[in-house]
Structure 1
Amino acid sequence: MLSDLEAIKHQVLLISTDLPPSRAAIRTIGYLESVSAVEAASDADYQLAECDALLTLARNALAKGANAIVGLRKTHAHYDQPGSQWRVSRVIYSGTAVVVT
């Protein structure tokens, strides 16, 4: 999954600012959000959940015709896993899909 994420970073720009330096947004596609399918109960699982959510977000942006995601944000939600003493997390990435020059 990590190699897939590295490969997709060559196709879509992921940036936390509103616009990349020295580029202009020529079309705004819209807000995107992705929640990890992986429930993370350990550090290794959390890293996998991060990759999963970010990869899904980037794939969704590409499918809509974007070449960048601006305003990229990461949040996470913690909750108790039913029937267990474990607390698990899901990672959520969000941002705005755009086409930049």
Structure 2
Amino acid sequence: MPIVRQRYPSNWNEISFAVREAALWRCQHCDRLCFRPGEKPKTLTRSEWTMATLTVHHADFAPENNNFDNLIALCAPCHLALHARTKRSNVSPGQLSLW
């Protein structure tokens, strides 16, 4: 997901890492085991590696709300599908959207 850094706290990387660690690097929707930072196998293509990248979703679609119970670890495909399915996004006005 594209990130507009101004909408996230300065410690977002640490918050995001903690959420993914708590989920044991598994998607909380499809249970796919994802790669930890630095684990990208050299044999994977960029698209294969992206499919196994764990992201953090804001349940209320507000990046400013970083309460732990609002954050969900999702693999990239599940995260994109959720945004497309709900027709909701945290994309700022004027920012390119993929759906």
How does the TM-score come out when normalised to structure 2?
0.28
Going by fraction, where is helix more abundant, 1 or 2?
2
Going by fraction, where is strand more abundant, 1 or 2?
1
Higher gyration radius (CA): 1
Question: Per chain length, whose mean CA-contact separation is higher, i.e. which structure has more relative contact order (CA < 8 Å, sep 6+)?
Answer: 1
